[in-house]
């Protein structure tokens, strides 16, 4: 049994930013940064296993993603061009330099565009179906109302609020698809992941477990404090395409199990 | 002298051509000629003027002005690094390596500088800005391969460290909000 990890754009930019912060001694504590950096460290340690992979699409998106963040900051109030232009120019240079270093520990896989395009239709349909499910569960037949109907009249008000909050947490991934529709570029990345997963399982003699490491809730589950997980979209991707999407830390833990010869459990903490 | 005139200097006075000619002459002689430092000083000054022009340009969006500023700044810091290497060439026994490596940077540097000059009177579209961004990346790659890219520590010397940390923290927050 082997494993491969495709790193989404967000993981690459988060790790590059973390490395810069480390050099500047302004450590970033959020899991978005910590987990991405930890996964890159793990991939570096296991470089000979060629676990970490990337594609041209993901690489191409990374630098504009860093630039987008700078562009957003440049229009904020309090920006002094004389003092801040040199600073943002330095940040851009430094993060891009770190991005390049990170890419050097990943295998860049070639892609057959026609095959990926064929997968795109299935990916698009999956996200449409899940968005429709989100609309149905949220607006047409919300279950919190049905559940609240079943409690004694005097508790209905409070029960309704509790069930509503519960449903909001459980269906987070579905509602997220409605609030922030998946970008075509993200659907393309999943299509590439499907192509690569199929390709590896065709050419490798051992079974290949394929992970997509991402902090984007279109792919990875939303974990709430208290242990509740919203994973309807992630589960649909896993069942339909055999790709395990998760946050970098969970992917790292699952990959470690594969390296020990054990089958990883999905949605492991 | 107006800012736009200063920007034009990069192309008009053909300083890059002068630099290229001097480098080729040095290559043939296989020896560093320190008069190249004067040409480099003039080029560095021209880059500073271009940086000021784009920094103060309010006709374009702040994002577009920033990208052109960023391009000019990168051209300048690479030229400063080149100057430093020529100064140290004898002491560090880098003759004629520094000449060969400086020659290698001329094509992408010229291309970027000509592009920047050509954009002074144009409306900057997103495509043009992206093109400049790609040219800067390429220039930095070539500079890195030829030991002409300043280290982050060297680059940081001209920055206010406290302000840098503050802005970097804000940048990290923005990036996080984009993806989580």
DSSP letter for B149, please: S
Instruction: Judge contact between B155 and A93, C-beta under 8 A.
Output: yes
Q: What average pLDDT score do residues A196-225 get?
A: 94
Please report the sign of the dihedral spanned by the C-alpha atoms of residue A161, residue A162, residue A165, residue A167.
negative
Q: What average pLDDT score do residues A206-220 get?
A: 95
Pick from A73, A96, A216: CB nearest B171 = A73
Pick from A23, A26, A96: CB nearest B169 = A26
Last residue of a domain, one of A73, A108, A143: A108
Structure tokens at A202: 């065709």
Specify if A66 maps to a domain. yes
Specify if A4 maps to a domain. no
pLDDT under 70: residue ranges of chain B? 1-13
List pLDDT tens digits, range A138-177: 888 888 778 877 888 888 888 888 888 888 889 999 999 9
Q: From the CA of A265, how many Å to the nearest CA of chain B?
A: 24
Is residue A231 located within the same domain as residue A184? yes
Instruction: Judge contact between B22 and B8, C-beta under 8 A.
Output: no
Specify if A156 maps to a domain. yes
Is residue A181 located within the same domain as residue A211? yes
Is residue A75 located within the same domain as residue A117? no
Last residue of a domain, one of A108, A123, A142: A108
What pLDDT shows up at residue A268? 59
> Residue B13: what are its φ and ψ, rounded to 5°?
-85, 0
Structure tokens at A200: 């590896």
Is residue A124 located within the same domain as residue A253? yes
Domain, as residue range, for A220: 113-259
What is the rounded radius of gyration, in angstroms, for the C-alpha atoms of chain A? Answer: 21
Last residue of a domain, one of A108, A138, A154: A108
DSSP letter for B122, please: S
List pLDDT tens digits, range A120-147: 999 999 999 999 999 988 888 888 778 8
Structure tokens at B156: 């940081």
Is residue A127 located within the same domain as residue A251? yes
Judge: A96–B140 Cβ closer than 8 Å, yes or no.
Answer: yes
Pick from A20, A24, A74: CB nearest B62 = A74
Judge: B152–A23 Cβ closer than 8 Å, yes or no.
Answer: yes
Cα(A75)–Cα(B180) distance, rounded to whole angstroms? 21
What's the start-to-end Cα distance of chain B, in Å? Answer: 49
| Domain assignments of chain B as residue spans, ordered by start | 3-149
Nearest to A12 by CA among A241, A180, A216, A192: A216
What pLDDT shows up at residue B156? 93
Nearest to A4 by CA among A198, A200, A218, A186: A200
Is residue A30 located within the same domain as residue A137? no
What pLDDT shows up at residue B120? 87
Q: Does A191 touch chain B (CB under 8 A)?
A: no
The angle formed by the CA atoms of residues B58, B64 and B70, to the nearest 5 degrees, is 105
> If pLDDT is split at 50, 70 and 90, which confidence band does A47 have?
very high
Is residue A142 located within the same domain as residue A194? yes
Cα(B145)–Cα(B142) distance, rounded to whole angstroms? 5
Is residue A227 located within the same domain as residue A186? yes
Specify if A267 maps to a domain. no
Q: From the CA of B31, how many Å to the nearest CA of chain A?
A: 33
Instruction: Judge contact between A238 and A245, C-beta under 8 A.
Output: yes
How far is CA A189 from each of CA A171, A186, A219, rounded to the nearest angstrom?
Answer: 24, 5, 11
Helix (H, G, I), strand (E, B) or coil at B88: helix
In a 13 Å sphere around the CA of A254, the CA atoms on its Cβ side amount to: 26
Is residue A123 located within the same domain as residue A250? yes
Strands (E), chain B: none
Specify if A188 maps to a domain. yes
What pLDDT shows up at residue A145? 79
- Length reported for chain A: 269
Ordered DSSP codes for chain A: -EEEEEEPHHHHHHHHHHHHHHHHT----SHHHHHHHHHHHHHHHTGGGT-EEE-HHHHHHHHHHHHHHHHHHHTSTT--HHHHHHHHHHHHHHHHHHHHHHHTTSEE----HHHHHHHHHHHHHHHHHHHHHHHIIIIIS-HHHHHHHTS-GGGHHHHHHHHHHHHHHHTHHHHHHHHSPPPHHHHHHHHHHHHHHHHHHHH-SS-EEEEEE---TTTSPEE-TTS-EE-HHHHHHHHHH-EEEE-HHHHHHHHHHHHTT-PPPTT--
In CATH, the architecture of B3-149 is Up-down Bundle (1.20)
Number of separate domains in chain A: 2
Judge: A81–B55 Cβ closer than 8 Å, yes or no.
Answer: yes
What pLDDT shows up at residue A14? 97
Q: From the CA of B24, how many Å to the nearest CA of chain A?
A: 30
Judge: B167–A91 Cβ closer than 8 Å, yes or no.
Answer: yes
Is residue A252 located within the same domain as residue A180? yes
Specify if A125 maps to a domain. yes
Specify if A165 maps to a domain. yes
Is residue A193 located within the same domain as residue A104? no
Is residue A82 located within the same domain as residue A155? no
What pLDDT shows up at residue B91? 86
Specify if A2 maps to a domain. no
List pLDDT tens digits, range A67-85: 999 999 999 989 999 999 9
């Amino acid at each position: 049994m082997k494993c491969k990890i495709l790193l989404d754009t967000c993981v690459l930019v988060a790790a590059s930013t973390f490395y810069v912060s480390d050099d500047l001694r302004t450590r970033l504590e959020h899991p978005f940064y910590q987990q991405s950096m930890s996964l890159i460290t793990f991939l570096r340690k296991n470089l000979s296993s060629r676990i970490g992979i990337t594609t041209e699409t993901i690489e191409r998106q990374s630098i504009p993603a860093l630039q987008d963040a700078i562009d957003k900051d440049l229009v904020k109030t309090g920006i002094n061009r004389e003092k801040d232009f040199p600073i943002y120019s330095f940040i851009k240079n430094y993060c891009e330099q770190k991005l390049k270093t990170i890419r050097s520990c990943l295998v860049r896989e070639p892609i057959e565009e026609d095959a990926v395009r064929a997968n795109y239709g299935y990916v698009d349909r999956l996200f449409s179906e899940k968005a429709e499910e989100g609309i149905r569960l949220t607006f047409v037949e919300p279950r919190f109302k049905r559940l609240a109907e079943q409690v004694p009249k005097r508790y209905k008000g409070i029960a309704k609020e509790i069930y509503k909050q519960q449903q909001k947490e459980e269906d987070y991934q579905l509602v997220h698809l409605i609030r922030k529709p998946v970008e075509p570029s993200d659907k393309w990345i999943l299509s590439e992941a499907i192509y690569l997963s199929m390709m590896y399982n065709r050419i490798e003699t051992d079974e290949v477990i394929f992970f997509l490491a991402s902090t984007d809730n279109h792919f990875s589950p939303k974990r709430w404090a208290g242990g509740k997980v919203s994973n309807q979209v992630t589960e649909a991707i896993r069942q339909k395409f055999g790709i395990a999407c998760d946050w970098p830390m969970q992917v790292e833990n699952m990959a470690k199990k594969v390296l020990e010869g054990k089958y990883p459990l999905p949605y492991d903490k | 002298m107006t800012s736009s005139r200063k920007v034009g200097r990069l192309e008009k006075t053909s300083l890059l051509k002068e630099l290229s000619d001097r480098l080729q002459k040095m290559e043939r002689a296989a020896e560093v000629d320190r008069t190249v430092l004067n040409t480099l000083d003039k080029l560095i000054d021209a880059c500073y003027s271009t940086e000021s022009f784009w920094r103060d340009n309010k006709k374009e969006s702040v994002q577009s002005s920033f990208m052109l500023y960023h391009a000019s700044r990168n051209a300048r810091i690479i030229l400063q690094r080149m100057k430093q290497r020529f100064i140290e060439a004898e002491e560090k026994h880098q003759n004629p390596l520094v000449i060969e490596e400086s020659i290698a940077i001329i094509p992408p540097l010229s291309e970027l500088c000509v592009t920047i000059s050509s954009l002074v009177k144009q409306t900057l579209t997103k495509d043009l800005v992206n093109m400049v961004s790609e040219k800067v990346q390429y220039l930095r790659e070539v500079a890195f391969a030829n030991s002409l890219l300043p280290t982050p520590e060297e680059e940081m010397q001209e920055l206010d460290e406290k302000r840098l940390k503050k802005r970097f923290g804000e940048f990290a927050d923005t990036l996080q909000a984009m993806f989580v």
